[in-house]
Amino acid sequence: MKRLLPFLPLVLGLVFVGLTLLPPRNPGAFDLVGFGRLPVLADGRVKPMDTIARTSLLQIAGAQQVLGPDNRPELGRDNSEPLTPSAWLLDVFFRPAQADSYRVFTIDDPDLLSLIGKDDQNLAIHYPGTLDQVRAVFGALDSRYRSFSFKEIAPFFPAIEAQAKLADPIDAKLRNRFQRAVVQLYANLTLYQRLEHTLEPPDADDFLGELLRFQGALPDGVAAVRAKQAGQPHNEDEAQAMLDLAKRYVALSDATQILAVPPEPGAADPNAWKTAGAGVLEAFDHGAVNPSVLAYAGLGYAWRGQNADQFNHLVELYRQDLQGRLAPQLRRCATEERFNAAAPFTSGMFLYALAFVLAIVSWLKWPEALGRAAFQLMALAWVLATAGILVRMWVGGRPPVTNLYSSALFVGWGSVLLCLVLEKIYRNAIGTVAGGLIGFATLVIAHYLSLGGDTLEMMRAVLDSNFWLSTHVIVVTSGYASTLLAGFLALIYVVRGVFTKSLDRATADALARMVYGIVCFATLFSFVGTVLGGIWADQSWGRFWGWDPKENGALIIVIWNAIILHARWGGMIRQRGLMCLAIGGNIVTSWSWFGVNMLGVGLHNYGFTEAAFQGLSVFVATQVAMIAVANLPLEKWRSFRVSA
């Protein structure tokens, strides 16, 4: 058994990863996978319907699955299968009355709950079984409703809109809890309503039939409208009917930001995508409704009638029609849909956590076997993260770091790479513990950052430079990663020294060498990255340095690492002092990475987020506490007497 230990976790990890990489399968008779790969233009880039569904659900519900209206907690949790993102989106598009009954809007604020008519009595979940009641008391089951349907909230929409408009002029940092909650709910409701108007009006029972009738009435209707405008004899009923339809389709075009109609074959501008409403309005000039609009209307007809064969046939025909003119976009959309279904970063999160646990256990039992197994799992998770980052680069056509989300991925990736090198050199499981912890933590951070919407959004024009994104951003982010790694290694030193008896002299010396080497690396990369950032700023804004909060944060990291090195070289600190300063580097880096974005000022301001502020505050508090623990008198340390 001991001989198999190093390989068994790796084999199980490979099987687990292999299962996630299998081609996605349709849960039923409908080709939801094929529909999810259909391209649209949104947020400045062409993306698949699957991404629209997933990012919208993450923003609205904080999850990528939807429970059907029949899934009532008090009736049991397994009485209906959760909907996939594409199935939910199809209902939003083509069966809005059904979609309005899905509980996707999460509300926790008590004042906001009161605004929509909820109180303790109608929020309580009453389970029929005694066992479920006991589980609810102890938190194993929900005891209160937290998610609500659009149908429940819609009667209170005017009140929500009024409160949101009152809160909107207030600076995000100054809003109270209720104001933040109502602004977020209003944004989610607005997004949901825009989705309902993406492909057809929500009140259309048979949009395909409506379009065919509209197309047949076009010649006489347009002639009647022109005669009316010219003051000539005309059929008033035909003219008015055509004007009413024009207003209807103008409203449809203005109600969404998703451009679902691709350019016509041979179009001068390959990026001239249109909304479905605009595609219908073209019929006034061309005499026929855009084929893409008719294709989606046909899909809606089949989906409402639950005719799977017809739906699947239309999906295939539409994809074949697009293949000749949008082949590259279709390939990217198919890859992105596979990437979404595989969720490599979620799998990597699990593998990093398992590697961390195995590495910790290896300090207590079977150090060689479990240490090797943990190292291999961490390497597998890193390979998976590498593949995920490369796919994102190919799909987006960008370097690996373009926003906060991708910076979280890259910081974790770079830190784990350094940990792999350290573990290969020292073989003491310290690198694996640090790598597993950092890899898991950064992927958790990335997950919460993904709740804000598309993580491959279009860059702002002044930052749209692949050269500088490939140089300055990658180099300075490597400085972030290495500074954090030094801090986490220092945390391992303190935890093992104060709370366990496992920090012997050899381990302490090895940790000190690791931290010192990583700080040297961090100083170089953070300094070079900051200088490159200044050159980019000079090209973009005409000045090398402007004391912007983000610039100041980058400079603070350089100065802090320089302080550590000078204090070490000057003999002002020894091992414990080195570790305390390295832990302080965690505070400096987290502030420079996230904190400056929450100030609401500067050229790098990405907006205030309460959850991020709370998380940052808790993290800083824990780091200060660990520095205090590290400064306990030596007799309080359970391990050897380290040199002060």
Q: What is the pLDDT of residue 272?
A: 86
Q: What is the pLDDT of residue 147?
A: 86
pLDDT in tens, 53-77: 999 999 998 888 887 665 555 444 4
pLDDT in tens, 489-511: 999 999 988 888 888 888 889 99
CA dist 66 → 187, 335, 342, 379 (Å): 19, 24, 19, 34
Torsion sign, CA atoms 101, 106, 110, 112: negative
- Amino acid identity at 551: E
End-to-end CA distance of the chain: 43
Q: What is the DSSP string of 372-407?
A: HHHHHHHHHHHHHHHHHHHHHHHHHTS-S-SSHHHH
Name the β-bridge partners of 41: 46, 259
Q: What is the pLDDT of residue 465?
A: 59
Residue 103's H or E segment, with its range, is strand 103-106
Please give the structure tokens belonging to residue 496: 């093992």
3 state SS of 140? coil
Spans in the chain with pLDDT lower than 50: 74-79, 461-462
Q: What is the pLDDT of residue 401?
A: 81
Q: Kindly give the pairing relationship between strand 103-106 and strand 147-149.
A: antiparallel
Q: What is the pLDDT of residue 77?
A: 46
Please give the structure tokens belonging to residue 317: 């025909």
- Amino acid identity at 136: A
Q: What is the pLDDT of residue 514?
A: 93
Question: pTM for this one?
Answer: 0.86
User: CB–CB of 469/415 below 8 Å?
Assistant: no
Q: How far apart are CA 225 and CA 241, in angstroms?
A: 9
Provide the H-helix boundaries in 276-343.
276-281, 283-286, 291-304, 308-342
Cβ neighbors of 216 (< 8 A, separation 6 or more) are none
User: CB–CB of 549/482 below 8 Å?
Assistant: no
Q: How far apart are CA 531 and CA 545, in angstroms?
A: 10
Q: How far apart are CA 32 and CA 87, in angstroms?
A: 7
Q: What is the CA radius of gyration of the chain?
A: 29
Please give the structure tokens belonging to residue 641: 């007497």
- Amino acid identity at 375: F
User: CB–CB of 190/60 below 8 Å?
Assistant: no
Residue 39's H or E segment, with its range, is strand 39-42
Full set of structural domains in the chain with CATH: 1-30+343-458 (1.20.120), 38-196 (no CATH), 207-328 (no CATH), 493-644 (no CATH)
